[in-house]
């Protein structure tokens, strides 16, 4: 089961040879005293990352039961959905970050934080090698390691350039707070350069051509923010070049926002067309230089060049090198992302959990398990189950694998529900297991893995902390249907994602939203819904007040275009 008891390990920080860290060894992992006055060492839980997944774990875990240590190169949590607003000064960078130490101080037990980056996960020896995030020469070689009983990998993902030549050198990314700050100064640089004397009109146009690569939510939101920034603020400050500004959005798919409902894609495309944002779909960027970007039209194969002043690359995420190295160690080299089971345990590696953007739940294995469960239910090897047996097994499977509910019960699984009827539409008495397998494989091909979003990451962090908090209780009284308890795996119900909808702000105080129950909402009222949801989701009252006051300041005074 996911939280198997482990032998206790001694020592927390080892190696490093650094005085500053050696001193801290003495106080790390000091054992608590249990009610019998026997010394009991708490299990060591090491958390890598303080993003959505890591922070949500830390906020909910009962730190009085574990020796929790958290490692991240950034000593803050960043509210990433507002990063596009930081690029244009709608919201200040400091308004969307919260220091990790403030977050962990509020917890019941002590949580230790190290500002360091994980450079290697050594699963065989159950430790992680870290490099401190410092260039202080007095520290020497700032490397050290931590031992763990349980490791939680929540280090997110990195930008994916698809090895496109020139992207790393010539494009901006929009992943971290620093990226957003750099974009903010670069946009103003483009305007200040464009108004310098002695430039030809062609050079001014080039400087004021802003290209966004990637028509997903981040690219679209940035394009909308930039358009608003120009229309509402910059046009008054740089009237001499207002007719030369152009925003282009390049998307390889046929539509922007293609992960949203079709109505939202259409709404966004129409709105951008009205706003004069040039959306080029079905195009792939083949290279980027400091002055131009080469684009290939996928249908015709022809390549054309676009001069640019600034390019923002936002085409999705890839695996971080430390995770890739770990995947090679544990036999997952052929996978795209770190694969976990439904309890978020890394496959092939006991006591390591992976949550958030760095991981994905193995959907294929779930389908194989389900088929095996049906086969096991066929105790007389007749190849069939009675309809009552079939329904019982389906009900139990839904409790054990809640994520397949919609496929086993809803209209998506017409093929499976059809198994309960004969060709004339009458109820069958028996269900053929081979027919069921075939129907399930069709459904499997329609299923998608969970999206890499803050919503998924935060829910996984909360789920995992609840499992950690209730470990002893659930060992005594396992959760889930009796049918599965014999396998000794199911003390906890597996992770279940609840989708609360998603937003796409489109500028001009308009937004689109996909809400639960296939509801779609667009327009000004949706933008107000966006304001209230994002204000309520802030990690602390401090950031909530800062963000709301930034929005108010922007309404009254406009955005600040100083280049500082
Ligand atoms: P992250 O939040 O990226 O956190 C990773 C953490 O790991 C960071 O603290 C990092 O410093 C740390 N780390 C990195 N490397 C190491 C290392 N080697 N060792 C230790 N620690 C390390 N999602 C939504 O649901 N809604 C939105 O509106 C939305 N908007 C977005 C807008 C932008 C501009 C971006 C970039 C993303 C947006 N997302 C949104 C996606 C969302 O931010 C991610 O899905 C989410 O951040 C994933 O959380 P995570 O904890 O897995 O990773």
Alpha helices in 384-514 (DSSP H): 387-400, 405-409, 414-418, 433-446, 454-469, 471-476
Fold of 1-157+319-361+453-498: FAD/NAD(P)-binding domain (3.50.50)
- Using 50, 70 and 90 to split pLDDT, how confident is the model at 441? low
Residue pLDDT, tens place only, 277-321: 999 999 999 999 999 999 999 888 899 999 999 999 999 889 999
pLDDT at 424 over 80: no
What is the whole-number distance in angstroms between the Cα of residue 80 and the centre of ligand 1? Answer: 7
Backbone angles phi, psi at 360, to 5 degrees: -145, 150
- The more confident residue out of 486 and 371 is 371
Fold of 167-318: FAD/NAD(P)-binding domain (3.50.50)
Q: What is the pLDDT of residue 538?
A: 94
Distance of CA 443 to the CA centre of its chain: 25
Percentage above 90 pLDDT, the chain: 60
CA distances to 145, 208, 234, 464 from 245, in Å: 51, 5, 10, 48
155-169, 303-317, 358-372: range with lowest mean pLDDT: 358-372
ipTM of the complex model: 0.99
- Name the nearest CA neighbour of 299 among 265, 255, 252: 252
Q: What is the pLDDT of residue 416?
A: 55
Does ligand 1 have an atom closer than 6 angstroms to the CB of 315? no
Distance, in Å, from the CA atom of 46 to the CA atom of 44, rounded to the nearest integer, reads 6
Ligand 1: atom nearest CA of 180 is 34
pLDDT at 64 over 60: yes
What is the whole-number distance in angstroms between the Cα of residue 98 and the centre of ligand 1? Answer: 14
Residue pLDDT, tens place only, 105-124: 877 678 999 999 999 999 99
Q: What is the pLDDT of residue 15?
A: 36
Does ligand 1 have an atom closer than 6 angstroms to the CB of 48? yes
Distance, in Å, from the CA atom of 168 to the CA atom of 223, rounded to the nearest integer, reads 20
Residue pLDDT, tens place only, 26-42: 333 343 444 454 456 88
Residue ranges per structural domain of the chain:
1-157+319-361+453-498, 167-318, 363-449
Distance, in Å, from the CA atom of 149 to the CA atom of 368, rounded to the nearest integer, reads 30
Do the two domains 1-157+319-361+453-498 and 167-318 of this chain adopt the same fold? yes
Residue pLDDT, tens place only, 87-101: 999 999 999 999 999
Does ligand 1 have an atom closer than 6 angstroms to the CB of 73? yes
Q: What is the CATH number of domain 363-449?
A: 1.10.238
Q: What is the pLDDT of residue 83?
A: 97
> Whose C-alpha lies nearest to ligand 1, atom 15?
155
Distance, in Å, from the CA atom of 52 to the CA atom of 285, rounded to the nearest integer, reads 31
- Using 50, 70 and 90 to split pLDDT, how confident is the model at 430? confident
If you average pLDDT over every residue of the chain, what do you get?
85
Distance, in Å, from the CA atom of 245 to the CA atom of 275, rounded to the nearest integer, reads 12
Tokens 């702000």 sit on residue? 505
């Amino acid at each position: 089961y996911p939280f198997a008891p482990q032998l206790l390990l001694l020592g927390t920080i080892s190696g490093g040879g650094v005085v500053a860290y050696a001193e801290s060894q003495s106080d790390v992992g000091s054992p608590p005293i249990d009610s019998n006055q026997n010394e009991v060492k708490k299990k060591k839980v090491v958390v890598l990352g303080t993003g959505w997944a890591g922070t949500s774990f830390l906020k909910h875990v009962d730190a009085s039961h574990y020796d929790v240590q958290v490692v991240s190169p950034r000593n803050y949590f960043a509210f990433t959905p507002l990063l596009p607003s930081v690029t244009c000064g709608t919201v200040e960078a400091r308004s969307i970050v919260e220091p990790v130490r403030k977050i962990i101080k509020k917890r019941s037990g002590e949580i230790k934080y190290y500002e360091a980056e994980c450079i290697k996960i050594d699963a065989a020896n159950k430790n992680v090698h870290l490099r401190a995030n410092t260039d202080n020469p007095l520290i020497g070689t700032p490397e050290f390691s931590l031992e763990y009983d349980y490791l939680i990998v929540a280090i997110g993902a990195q930008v994916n350039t698809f090895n496109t030549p020139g992207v790393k050198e010539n494009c901006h990314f929009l992943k971290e707070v620093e990226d957003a700050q750099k974009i903010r100064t670069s946009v103003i640089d483009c305007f200040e350069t464009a108004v310098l004397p002695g430039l030809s009109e062609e050079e001014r146009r080039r400087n004021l051509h802003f290209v966004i690569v990637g028509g997903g939510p981040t690219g679209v939101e940035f394009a909308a923010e930039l358009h608003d920034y120009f229309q509402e603020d910059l046009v008054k400050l740089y009237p001499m070049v207002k007719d030369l500004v152009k925003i282009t959005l390049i998307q390889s798919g046929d539509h922007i926002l293609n992960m949203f409902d079709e109505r939202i894609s259409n709404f966004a495309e129409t709105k951008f067309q009205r706003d004069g944002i040039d959306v080029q779909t079905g195009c792939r960027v083949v290279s980027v230089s400091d002055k131009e970007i080469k684009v290939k039209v996928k249908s015709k194969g022809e390549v054309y060049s676009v001069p640019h002043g600034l390019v923002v690359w936002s085409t999705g995420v890839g695996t971080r090198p430390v995770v890739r190295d770990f995947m090679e160690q544990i036999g997952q080299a052929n996978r795209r992302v770190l694969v976990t089971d439904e309890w978020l345990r890394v496959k092939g590696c006991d006591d390591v959990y992976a949550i958030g953007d760095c991981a994905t739940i193995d959907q294929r294995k779930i389908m194989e398990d389900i088929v095996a469960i049906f086969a096991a239910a066929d105790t007389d090897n007749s190849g069939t189950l009675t309809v009552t047996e079939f329904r019982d097994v389906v009900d139990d499977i839904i409790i054990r694998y809640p994520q397949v509910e919609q496929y086993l019960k809803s209209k998506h699984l017409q093929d499976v529900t059809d198994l309960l009827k004969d060709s004339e539409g009458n109820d069958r008495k028996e269900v053929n297991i081979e027919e069921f397998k075939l129907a399930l494989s069709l459904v499997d091909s329609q299923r998608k893995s969970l999206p890499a979003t803050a919503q998924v990451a935060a829910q996984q962090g909360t789920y995992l902390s609840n499992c950690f908090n209730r470990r002893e209780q659930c060992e005594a009284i396992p959760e889930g249907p009796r049918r599965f308890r014999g396998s000794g795996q199911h003390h906890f119900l597996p992770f279940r994602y609840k989708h609360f909808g998603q937003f796409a702000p489109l500028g001009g105080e308009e937004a689109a939203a996909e809400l639960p129950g296939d509801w779609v909402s667009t327009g000004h009222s949706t933008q107000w819904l966006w304001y209230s949801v994002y204000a309520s989701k802030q990690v602390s009252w401090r950031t909530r007040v800062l963000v709301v006051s930034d929005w108010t300041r922007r309404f009254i005074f406009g955005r600040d275009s100083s280049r500082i």
